[in-house]
Amino acid sequence: MTGYNIAIVGATGAVGTRIIKMLEQSSLPIADVKLLASQRSAGKVLKFAGKNLQVQEAVPASFEDVDLAFFSAGGSVSKKLAPEAVKRGAVVIDNTSAFRMDPSVPLVVPEVNEQALTKHQGLIANPNCSTIQMVVALEPLRQEFGLKKVIVTTMQAVSGAGNRAIQELYTQTKAVLNGEEPKAEILPVAGADKHFQIAFNPLAQIDVFEDGGYTHEEWKMIHETKKIMDDEDIQVTATCVRVPVAISHSESVWFELKQDGATVAKLQQLLSEAPGVILRDDPTRQIFPQAVQAAGQKETFVGRVRADGEQKNAFHLYCVADNLLKGAAWNSVQIAESLDRMNLLQIPHN
């Protein structure tokens, strides 16, 4: 079989299991797949394309003879093992925030900045889930009219914090419905001092608090958007909220365009023709993007396109995408497909 030897680090996680699915559906030529995880998960058996594969512990030697490695096992694992994989000749697509802001690492959403891949030095970063869907929606508008400012409020699914957070949402929800006290052990941040109820309760904290009262998630949206769009002058500010939803992030995006002349109809037309976007925008028929409809889909759904009635060149849109697919697994596999098409991967093994 001709194709790439692929490793998936964090193969048993919410994103890892979806990378497996996305690879099964991909046209990427695959010779071999190696599932890697922590010692704790080693020995588990997962299926790839009908074959049983045993999960192995990820160690530096795991990457011998690997052409392409997907990492989604947390920042510390990526920091430790991604350089080991690159050293052994693998191209790494990293889903964590470990290398995203490293100037030598391309941060890529194929619909927006596929060309940035040409400069890769073995390591490519997959952006934060909440950033990806927003830039997919804004890019076609930016291409036509330029982008001056973005103000976004996110309503993010708990699956962004992993399978255990989904379990926590469901367990807490059952407790509340039964009139019991819900137990909070994971959200808003697994390692934080305090944990709060997510069942029937939005939490305006995603990741840790950092400078200026912003959370790490909010800073990610600000910095990553500028890097992906390669324009430090785009003003971006964000409020990130975790909501009691299992899968799909919903985002309320206000934006100001640089050039005159945009109309709602024109923006809708651009979105309807944009790669990776499905326009769901017909108020007369109550059509707007919904989390349950986006779950399991690869596209970013966009609707509620409206003009800010009192500020020139300012508009709203509302975008929804599966945070585990377009926000993570699918965007990563899409990057791999781009690398393959652009001849930026090693020649497949024979």
Which parts are annotated binding residues for substrate?
A: 156, 242
The active-site residue, picked from 120, 129, 240, 319, is 129
Give residues with Cβ within 8 angstroms of 25, minimum separation 6: none
Binding residues for NADP(+) are: 12-15, 40-41, 159-160, 323
Binding site for its own copies (CB under 8 A): 149, 151, 153, 155, 169-170, 173-174, 177, 188, 192-194, 196-197, 200-205, 209, 212-215, 222, 235-237, 239, 241, 243-246, 250, 252, 254, 264, 281, 283-286, 288-292, 303-311, 314, 316, 318
Cross-strand pairs, 9: 36, 71
Instruction: Provide the minimum distance between the beta carbon of 140 and its own copies in the complex, in angstroms, as a whole number.
Output: 18
For its own copies, the closer of residues 37 and 238 by Cβ is 238
DSSP 146-170: -EEEEEEEEEE-GGGG-HHHHHHHH
Catalytic, out of 249, 316, 319, 349: 249
Can you tell me the distance from the alpha carbon of 82 to that of 297, in angstroms, rounded to the nearest whole number? 28
> Which CB, 242 or 298, lies closer to its own copies?
242
d(CA 120, CA 122) in angstroms, rounded, equals: 6
Q: How many residues does the chain have?
A: 350
Complex with its own copies: residue 210 or 273, whichever CB lies closer: 210
Q: Supply the minimum distance, in Å, between the C-beta of residue 123 and its own copies.
A: 28
Q: How many CB atoms lie within 10 A of CB 348?
A: 17
The residue (of 130 and 197) whose beta carbon lies closer to its own copies is: 197
CB of 297 to its own copies, least distance (A): 14
In angstroms, what is the minimal distance from the CB of 80 to its own copies?
A: 28
Q: Give least dist CB 209 to its own copies, A.
A: 4
How many Cβ atoms are within 10 Å of 284's Cβ, its own excluded?
A: 5
Closer residue to its own copies in complex, CB, 31/241: 241
69 φ/ψ angles, rounded to the nearest 5 degrees: -125, 130
Q: In the 8-state DSSP scheme, what is residue 207?
A: S
Q: Which residues contact 343 (CB under 8 A, 6 or more apart)?
A: none
Which residues sit opposite 52 in a β-bridge? 47
Active site residue 249: yes
**Token pair for residue 143?**
């291409």
Query: Which tokens belong to 288?
Result: 């707007």
CB-based contact 112:229 (threshold 8 Å): yes
Residues with catalytic function: 129, 249
